[in-house]
Amino acid sequence: MAGIPERFREFREQQHQSQAELAERLGVPQKLISDVERGRTSFRQDFLLRIHERLGLSIDWLLTGKGSRQFRPEEHVDRGEVVGVLQQLRGMMETGALARVAEETTHYGGQDARRVGLFEIEGQAEIPFTANGLPGPAQRLTTCPDDLSDADAFACRLAGDSMVPEFAPETVLFFAPGAPLDSGDYVFARIDNRATFRQVFFDGDLVRLVPANRNYPEVRLSRDTVGGMFRLAWAMARF
């Protein structure tokens, strides 16, 4: 079944535009268009508003596959009405009428889909760890994206605003412990029995853990004081 990334790509191709052309039309980096179509990132409210206003794309159709693809000609878009649609969809999700819309993509399977541990993370949150240094055991589970094959994969829900605007609160983050790390990656970093989600930069033996929200402090540590770092593989925003 087609999901959100496939519907977005379908719309772009129906417009006869390349990723670069659509990115220029929306005023966003081409990488964002590529990541959305590959299911590597999810739609935030401001981006949904932008594609609706500039392209006339139906948000309801994009998120659910229902209704018409074109909401109305773009010159007649009513921003207030779009916000109302988003609020209505959010309310439907909260009441269970439209449960887990963000998981209606090809990255999520049916009843046989793999489940991984889900933890809460923010700042330096206390998280249980197993003897091999991985988070666990988890009290909650969540469905893992199909293309995340790492056997040790796990997920964390971002509880606060320290990574805004890059990652909204309540975003579910999936980590791949087996993936190699590069400077600039977003990581789950263990410090003693606590963990944090930050962008990491390597400077010799120094590790810099940098928040996106500059109201939070940057943490600088020597590499041997970091108990482990696992690269972000996939992020699923909550609408």
d(CA 37, CA 4): 8
Judged against a pLDDT cut of 50, whether residue 220 lies above it is answered with yes
d(CA 106, CA 39): 8
Q: Sorting pLDDT into bands at 50, 70 and 90, what band is 198?
A: very high
Tell me the average pLDDT of the chain.
78
Global pTM value = 0.56
Within the chain, all domains assigned CATH 1.10.260.40 are found at 4-103
- Does CATH place domain 4-103 in 1.10.260.40? yes
DSSP characters over 175-196: EETTS---TT-EEEEEETTEEE
- Predicted pLDDT at 42: 64
Mean pLDDT, residues 23-31? 85
Mean pLDDT, residues 129-158? 87
The pLDDT tens digits of the residues spanning 92-129 come to 555 554 444 444 343 444 445 688 999 988 766 678 88
The pLDDT tens digits of the residues spanning 160-189 come to 889 988 888 888 899 999 999 999 999 999
89 vs 226, more confident: 226
User: At CA 67, angle to CA 69 and CA 93, rounded to 5?
Assistant: 110
Mean pLDDT, residues 42-52? 73
Which sign, positive or negative, has the C-alpha torsion 26, 28, 34, 39? negative
Within the chain, all domains assigned CATH 2.10.109.10 are found at 115-236
Query: Topology of domain 115-236, per CATH?
Result: Umud Fragment, subunit A (2.10.109)
Judged against a pLDDT cut of 70, whether residue 196 lies above it is answered with yes
